[in-house]
Amino acid sequence: MRKLEKELKVTNRNIDQESGFYHIEFDFGGTEYFLQCCLKSRYKNHKITYLKQIDKNDTGYNDGICGDTNRKSLEKFGAEKCLLLLLSNFKKAN
């Protein structure tokens, strides 16, 4: 994992509980890339709130808004490397 993080320099991590997304920005060879996935949601008192947890049942990393955001990164690095990067940086964003 350390080799991965040296290759892809993470420049920003953010857990946005208002929008329900976790994202990271990283640099590779002078080009900026983005990755984003869904946070776990909870419906209570007719209101949706987002927890500081990745939704393991529906990360959304490869479809919808996240899929559009992640397309460039997925095409360049592949799904496995992108998911590892998202997961390994999640604790650092807290």
- pLDDT reported for residue 5: 67
Of the two residues 59 and 14, the one the predictor is more confident about is: 14
Parent domain of 58: 2-93
Separation of alpha carbons 73 and 81, rounded Å: 9
What letter represents residue 16's amino acid?
D
Q: Please report the beta strands in the chain, taking only residues with DSSP state E, as ranges in sequence order.
A: 9-16, 21-28, 31-44, 47-54
Separation of alpha carbons 34 and 17, rounded Å: 18
The 10s digit of each residue's pLDDT in 4-42 is: 667 788 899 999 999 999 999 999 989 999 998 889 999
pLDDT category of residue 49 using cuts at 50, 70 and 90? very high
Tokens of 65: 């808004």
Structural domain total, the chain: 1
pTM, full prediction: 0.79
Strands 9-16 and 31-44: unpaired
The 10s digit of each residue's pLDDT in 66-94 is: 778 888 998 998 888 888 888 888 878 77
